[in-house]
Amino acid sequence: MTAYPSPNFGDRRGGVLPSLIVIHYTAMASCAEARARLCAPEFEVSAHWLISETGVAEPLVDERFRAWHAGAGEWAGVTDVNSHSIGIELANTGSQPFSEPQMAALERVLAAAMARWAIPPARVIGHSDMAPQRKGDPGARFDWRRLALQGLSVWPSVVGRDGPELQHSLDAIGYPQVAPAARLAAFRLRFRPMARGPETAADRACAAAVAGLMPH
């Protein structure tokens, strides 16, 4: 296997270093199809890592460079997410569970990248977090709590019965300034995937707990 086979990359604008990691699913039928797409010049998309269902982690773009995985969006005031991030694609159609070998490989890739670039757990996000009106990956089946238990993301351990104004907490977490309903949906997809309907006290309490985990 050739390391860094994707030609779809460029320099990180402004000479910035990676300070975010964005997790995706490929939404394609197979890992081979996803690899072909991510390495084809005509599609102008890529990621730094592609992890197969069987746990093979393939480096597609050197982390020193800007891969084209995030698209339009924002996180914690960062609008050029591609320049500031490392993109990890998980081979998954979007409707299947993530396998144990794949999750174990993701944990290894995450731990190494976070150590290389001094990226804290709060800066490991999903594509849906930074682009809530466009994207839904890695989706409701993804186990964020598992990552948090290993210090690879965040998850609230103590949640109260209510909290302050929801949008203020979502601001503190880093969600972009889009429609309130879209922000709530993105937050729920990650932290309360079974929740439905209008905003509740449980949403406010959970968001406040997550906001409390953010660096200040």
What digits encode the pLDDT tens for the residues 169-184? 999 999 999 999 999 9
pTM for the whole structure: 0.97
On the question of pLDDT at 1 being above 70, the answer is no
Q: Is 100 a catalytic residue?
A: no
2: confidence class by pLDDT, cuts 50, 70, 90: low
Residue 56 Ramachandran class (φ > 0 left, ψ -120 to 50 alpha, else beta): beta
What average pLDDT does the segment 45-50 reach?
A: 98
Residue pLDDT, tens place only, 185-206: 999 999 999 999 999 999 999 9
Residue pLDDT, tens place only, 62-93: 999 999 999 999 999 999 999 999 999 999 99
Could you give all domains of the chain from N- to C-terminal order, each with its CATH number? 9-149 (3.40.80.10), 166-211 (no CATH)
Q: Which of 89, 100, 107, 165 is catalytic?
A: 89
- Please say whether the dihedral angle defined by the alpha carbons of residues 15, 17, 22 and 28, taken in this order, is positive or negative: positive
Rounded to an integer, what distance in angstroms lies between the CA atom of residue 106 and that of residue 39?
20
* Selection from 72, 61, 62, 63 nearest residue 38 by Cα: 61
3: confidence class by pLDDT, cuts 50, 70, 90: confident
Q: Which stretches of the chain are DSSP H helices?
A: 31-38, 81-84, 100-117, 127-130, 144-149, 166-173, 180-191, 201-211
What is the length of the chain? 216
